[in-house]
Structure 1
């Protein structure tokens, strides 16, 4: 699509937007749904010919998105949101935007002739591969392949530490939902501290725990530029109860390994488009809930509160706790099957109202910092997981 020298492209990994028109300094686009439905928050596109122009990118169908229950008192994902722009796909800054009458308008600064605009900074598969390579350069970490996705990509597992009598089995997962790229930065920060030979806590956890990390649960969806679904049109975080290996092979592969190894702790990292805070979900509504799991979750949250200024236990699961856990979701299903402390972590796309950053909001750097802080919370409960 072009007019003169101004062009918009999505022909690269993770790219997603449907061009509509170019008129003067205004580009009009529509969000692309993953499949039949309304999973379509994510956008990531390149504009060429931008030098010297103050561009406006208008998303015409922003209001078509559905919202989760219990969010009536919370601003929607577009209100107050500022997307990211980059001239080199390494350094990202926020840009101005506004939302009115169902239309989201991005005001793209002319930082270079070619700019990339994204809902959140991408975490591409080459960065995933670099993270894997850095991790396995440490002798305590080994790379395994859980299997191959429908599009032929490896489902990577990092195995850290060694099994032994009484060693808790700790699982960390990220990016069931491709658009929630902060989960990639979170795992990157967690691994960096865990495998830092100068970090005493990292060394202690590697010695004391048997750790399994699946950094990218949905590599096909990530490469395709999907918002939530995998290549077969499945929301993987709704596939953990009665898992179908045809529609959710990634979940089936992970569950097979979990059942072979055991699970004493699991953390599943996500992002939330609307809420201005970091929050946790715990195994508090599962059918087999217990005071033991309730105490562990509370102690974990208190430890994270001490180690991360952006988190507070006063910021609860939105809309209040449901009466009955949805066992299609990973953290609930894993807690129920393995009688273990299993936690949902949600990070904001916007910013936190605690320890806020007016310039960058919740940035990749802050996601990585939270990953590093998470070791303190794991350490607080590791001796009591069983």
Structure 2
């Protein structure tokens, strides 16, 4: 999809070099074009989610830049909102490096400068076409391929919970056989579409869980009843939203009392959870500001118990042993709230089912533990963390009830 001087594409005519195109006409594409200056500045703005107005995610292609000295200038970067209790934490752009690709498939980090509410990304010489993204996209074709690999294992089967507002299937991967006494383990990702690291995390987790040569994966697939929802918000993922679904609803603020019209995805998942039961739940997300992986547990819910606190500590200690990128010393930011927000999935699930429910947050930037100066917290590291997470699940699986 392209148009001249409007919408998701802009054409800047230059007698010698020809037009520059800025395009978002593909899955998850998102940016608004303000103009192209004579000096080569390509001025854009982050696109706001409908109703909520959330801004953060961007994914676009620039072509016609060969032979030019150009910069991407994101003019409304300063509009990004912050969570409470983070006044002492650097904002999302400080220390952040975007991703760039020559083919839309293989991604590298690139430099950027954030000053006075504007993010500037230099365009390197030599290429005529480049893709830019806040984090490497995890397209629905990759989601489908991941499910296809899983379904090659006879222990896995696919269920469709229902349809989203845009008419897409809400897919649940069921692993294992239901038997009395088996722990019910739920794993979810991508309530927030922009947090694509959750897709790579579940891809790594499923890769180990269903690898017949991996003893731990095979053990968990045999002894647990697993429910995996890799993409809770397929509409938002396809549309290129930051945090909301097709109806403008932040699904991770809908769990206490979901509106069937605005958050049908949450209604469908809650109904299925109530029909099956939950003994453990993990909800995977990404955090834009903090340079570390952190976990949240059921520590502030109204019915909190010493049993749940002990289970969370066991889980977190096992995760610490399994992956050096995570440390208990990197806590939930701002300290624990007095009471849990039951609109959030991990809190609602813990309270509803009296179970261990864990929030996982992975960084968009890098980890200050074992940093990678070249790629930061990359899709490969997300997948490796998913692979290692089976160690922590195994540490608590026998004592969840």
Matched, 1:267 2:267: no
Alpha-carbon distance in structure 2 between the residues aligned to 1:25 and 1:42: 23
Matched, 1:10 2:19: no
After TM superposition, give the deviation of residue 114 of structure 1 in Å.
1.4
Matched, 1:138 2:153: yes
Q: Secondary structure at 2:112's aligned position in 1?
A: strand
Alpha-carbon distance in structure 2 between the residues aligned to 1:49 and 1:100: 27
Q: Which of 335, 338, 341 is the equivalent residue of 2:353?
A: 338
Alpha-carbon distance in structure 1 between the residues aligned to 2:70 and 2:111: 11
Alpha-carbon distance in structure 1 between the residues aligned to 2:252 and 2:125: 38
Alpha-carbon distance in structure 2 between the residues aligned to 1:312 and 1:232: 37
After TM superposition, give the deviation of residue 111 of structure 1 in Å.
5.7
Instruction: Kindly provide the CA deviation profile for residues 216-260 of structure 1, in whole angstroms up to 9, marking residues without a partner as x.
Output: 000000000000000001000000001111110000000110000
Matched, 1:353 2:368: yes
Superposed CA RMSD in Å reads 0.9
Kept in 2, the 8 Å contact 1:34–1:233? The answer is: yes
Instruction: Kindly provide the CA deviation profile for residues 190-233 of structure 1, in whole angstroms up to 9, marking residues without a partner as x.
Output: 00000011100000000000000000000000000000000001
Alpha-carbon distance in structure 2 between the residues aligned to 1:54 and 1:182: 32
Q: Paired residue for 1:92?
A: 107
Q: Paired residue for 2:208?
A: 193
Alpha-carbon distance in structure 2 between the residues aligned to 1:374 and 1:282: 15
Matched, 1:218 2:218: no
Q: Paired residue for 2:194?
A: 179
Q: How does 1:1-386 map to 2 (within 5 A)?
A: 1-3=10-12, 4-23=18-37, 24-110=39-125, 112-386=127-401
Instruction: Kindly provide the CA deviation profile for residues 137-168 of structure 1, in whole angstroms up to 9, marking residues without a partner as x.
Output: 11111011011111011101000011111100
Alpha-carbon distance in structure 2 between the residues aligned to 1:108 and 1:322: 43
Alpha-carbon distance in structure 2 between the residues aligned to 1:111 and 1:254: 48
Q: Secondary structure at 1:358's aligned position in 2?
A: coil
Which structure 1 residue ranges, 5 or more long, are not aligned?
none
Q: Go from structure 1 to structure 2 and tell me whether the alpha carbon gap of 1:110 and 1:137 turns closer, same or farther (over 3 Å shift).
A: farther
Q: Secondary structure at 1:96's aligned position in 2?
A: coil
When normalised by structure 2's length, the TM-score is: 0.95
Instruction: Kindly provide the CA deviation profile for residues 295-339 of structure 1, in whole angstroms up to 9, marking residues without a partner as x.
Output: 000000000000001000000000000010000000000000000
After TM superposition, give the deviation of residue 108 of structure 1 in Å.
2.5
Kept in 2, the 8 Å contact 1:38–1:65? The answer is: no
After TM superposition, give the deviation of residue 112 of structure 1 in Å.
2.8
Alpha-carbon distance in structure 1 between the residues aligned to 2:67 and 2:99: 19
Kept in 1, the 8 Å contact 2:52–2:249? The answer is: no
Aligned residues: 386
When normalised by structure 1's length, the TM-score is: 0.99
After TM superposition, give the deviation of residue 38 of structure 1 in Å.
3.6
Alpha-carbon distance in structure 2 between the residues aligned to 1:50 and 1:195: 44
Q: Secondary structure at 2:221's aligned position in 1?
A: helix
Which structure 2 residue ranges, 5 or more long, are not aligned?
1-9, 13-17
Kept in 2, the 8 Å contact 1:95–1:108? The answer is: no
